[in-house]
Amino acid sequence: MSDLNHPEHVSLVKLSTPAGTITVELQHDLPTDQLEQATLDDFTVTRLWLSDLVEHPEATEPQAPETLKNVLLSYFDGNIAALTQINFDLIGLSDFQFDVLGWLAQAPAEIVNYKDIAKAIGKPKSARAVGTALSSNPIPLIIPCHRVLPVSGKIGGYLGSAKDSSSIKRYLLWHEGLIESTSD
């Protein structure tokens, strides 16, 4: 198994999904020609971009690990819990951001609002700051910030001000069975 505390390589891989193209940053110790055969324990995800929506770096590797492809395909085939198998690292975040994103990573697959998260992390007056922390989520989808809505229940934005962001958020919520329709 790799020493993921001090990885030798950072690779960017691109995957096609029903939600569009996803670019994923992986840290690993494998020779890049072995990355496609990596197990889930051989790499850590440190960034994820829904590439069709936001600017992202270009992929550096031609093939993503088959295990990562399989987990993502399983998620898009209806196994919502599949993403919990992916190892990730929340590097470069403040303690507050880490608390918010860490809580959301462990939360049940249900819609919550900013106020719910603020209460859950013991800072009930920080709902607005929770929203700001969620906008710094380096691995959307894996940490499901799409499940967080304003108290009003409106879908709201996703991934900051990314173009067409509410439609992908609506799609993900519909896909997970949390809303009934992908239309307004």
* Strands, E assignment, the chain: 9-17, 20-28, 43-50, 112-113, 148-149
Task: Output the pTM of the full model.
Answer: 0.86
List Cβ neighbours of 89 (8 Å cut-off, separation of 6 or more): 4, 27, 44, 45, 46
* Domains of the chain by residue range: 9-85, 95-175
- Per-residue model confidence as pLDDT tens digits over 142-167: 999 999 998 888 887 777 545 667 88
Has residue 179 got a pLDDT over 70? yes
- Per-residue model confidence as pLDDT tens digits over 50-59: 866 556 667 7
Distance CA 118, CA 115 (A): 5
Alpha helices in 10-144, H assignment, sequence order: 66-76, 95-106, 114-120, 127-134
Q: What is the CATH number of domain 95-175?
A: 1.10.10.10
* Strands, E assignment, 116-159: 148-149
- Per-residue model confidence as pLDDT tens digits over 59-118: 776 688 999 999 999 999 999 999 999 999 998 999 999 999 999 999 999 999 999 999
83 dihedral zone (left: phi>0; alpha: psi -120 to 50; beta): alpha
Residues 51 and 23 sit within 8 Å (Cβ to Cβ): yes
Residues designated catalytic: 145
